[in-house]
Amino acid sequence: MRLPLPTKAPFSFAQTLAFVRRFPPCRDQTIITEDSLTAAVTVGGRPTAFTIRDGSVEVERAVDAPALLARAAHFVGARDDLGELYAAAEGDRHFRPLVEMLHGLHHVRFLTLEEIAVYSVMMQRNPMPRSAQMKRRLFERIGLPVEVGGKTLYALPSIDELARVDGATYGEAIGHARKGEVIAEVVRGVARIGENFLCEAPYEKAKEALLAIRGVGPFSAAAILLRGLGRMDEVTTQVFEDEARVVYGKAYDEAAIRRRYGRQLGYWSFYLKTGVARLTERSVRGEDEQSSPRHRARRR
Residue ranges of domains in the chain: 110-146+156-231, 240-299
Considering the chain, what percentage of its residues have pLDDT values greater than 70? Answer: 93
Sign, CA torsion 96/101/104/106: negative
Kindly state the DSSP code that residue 6 receives in the 8-state scheme.
Answer: -
Q: CA dist 127 to 23, 87, 130, Å? A: 13, 34, 6
d(CA 58, CA 52): 6
Report cis status (omega within 30 of 0) of the bond before 10: yes
The confidence score (pLDDT) of residue 288 equals: 53
Query: Comparing 281 with 195, which gets the higher pLDDT?
Result: 195
**Looking at residues 60-71, what average pLDDT do you find?**
86
Q: CA dist 145 to 6, 151, 157, Å? A: 28, 10, 11
d(CA 36, CA 56): 10
The confidence score (pLDDT) of residue 287 equals: 60
By the 8 A CB rule, do 153 and 31 touch? yes
pTM above 0.75, yes or no: yes
Kindly state the DSSP code that residue 290 receives in the 8-state scheme.
Answer: G
Interstrand relation of 56-58 and 144-148 (parallel, antiparallel or unpaired):
unpaired
Kindly state the DSSP code that residue 234 receives in the 8-state scheme.
Answer: -
d(CA 121, CA 217): 10
The 10s digit of each residue's pLDDT in 9-54 is 999 999 999 999 999 888 889 999 999 999 999 998 899 999 999 8
**Looking at residues 247-265, what average pLDDT do you find?**
93
The fold for domain 110-146+156-231 equals Endonuclease III; domain 1 (1.10.340)
Element (H or E) spanning 146, and its range? strand 144-148
Examine the pLDDT at 238 and tell me if it is beyond 90: no
The confidence score (pLDDT) of residue 272 equals: 96
d(CA 56, CA 274): 25
The 10s digit of each residue's pLDDT in 167-225 is 999 999 999 999 999 999 999 999 999 999 999 999 999 999 999 999 999 989 999 99
Kindly state the DSSP code that residue 154 receives in the 8-state scheme.
Answer: E
By the 8 A CB rule, do 292 and 283 touch? yes
Examine the pLDDT at 82 and tell me if it is beyond 70: yes
